[in-house]
């Protein structure tokens, strides 16, 4: 894949109108038709479908992008977006499994933890969701006023996770 194709992807996405994704989808389809197995093209095309509210199409394209070998930060973003799409489709168990794997692969990614918490909440696991967000705060928020309270925040997070272990969706 050439840098020119990726530069064109970046240009198209920077110019997109999130309220009218039809022109962006049409332009990306041209690139997709020319490079249907390129992982980054698949990922960006999936994301455009997602933004347009076409989650089923997005989910299929995210799967293809991951299978095509996305790496690094683009892979992390794809995992996050795919997990979020699965949540939007009501596929909570699949979303949570995907986030669990993604968090193992990218343990320091606060964004994955936040979106996993959103899925936990949507699945009815409110204690686990709040506990997860408290962990994000304790590990990723640098604030002098919070430093002295981080042990308490971590303790509350653990307590909420314990309470959440008994929660079921619903």
Reading the chain (170 residues) residue by residue, the pLDDT tens digits are 679 999 999 999 999 999 999 999 999 999 999 999 999 999 999 999 999 999 999 999 999 999 999 999 999 999 999 999 999 999 999 999 999 999 999 999 999 999 999 999 999 999 999 999 999 999 999 999 999 999 999 999 999 988 877 776 54
Which tokens hold the place of 131? 């506990």
| Residue spans per domain, the chain | 1-70, 92-170
- 3-class DSSP assignment, residue 147: helix
To the nearest 10 degrees (0 to 180), the angle between helices 55-67 and 39-51 is 160
d(CA 32, CA 34): 5
The pTM is what? 0.90
CATH superfamily placement of domain 1-70? Tetratricopeptide repeat domain (1.25.40.10)
Distances, alpha carbon 100 to alpha carbons 105, 120, 150, in Å: 9, 11, 24
């Amino acid at each position: 894949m050439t840098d020119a194709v990726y530069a064109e992807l970046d240009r198209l996405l920077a110019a997109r109108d999130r309220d009218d994704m039809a022109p962006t989808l049409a332009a990306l389809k041209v690139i997709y038709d020319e490079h249907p197995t390129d992982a980054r093209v698949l990922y960006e095309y999936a994301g455009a479908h997602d933004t347009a509210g076409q989650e089923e199409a997005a989910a299929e394209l995210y799967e293809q992008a991951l299978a095509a070998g996305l790496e690094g930060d683009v892979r992390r973003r794809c995992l996050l977006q795919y997990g979020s799409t699965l949540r939007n489709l009501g596929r909570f168990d699949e979303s949570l499994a995907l986030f669990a794997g993604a968090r193992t692969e990218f343990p320091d990614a606060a964004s994955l933890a936040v979106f996993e918490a959103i899925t936990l909440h949507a699945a009815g696991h409110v204690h686990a969701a709040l506990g997860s967000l408290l962990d994000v705060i304790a590990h990723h928020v640098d604030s002098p006023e919070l430093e002295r309270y981080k042990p308490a925040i971590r303790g509350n997070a653990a307590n909420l996770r314990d309470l959440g272990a008994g929660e079921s969706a619903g």
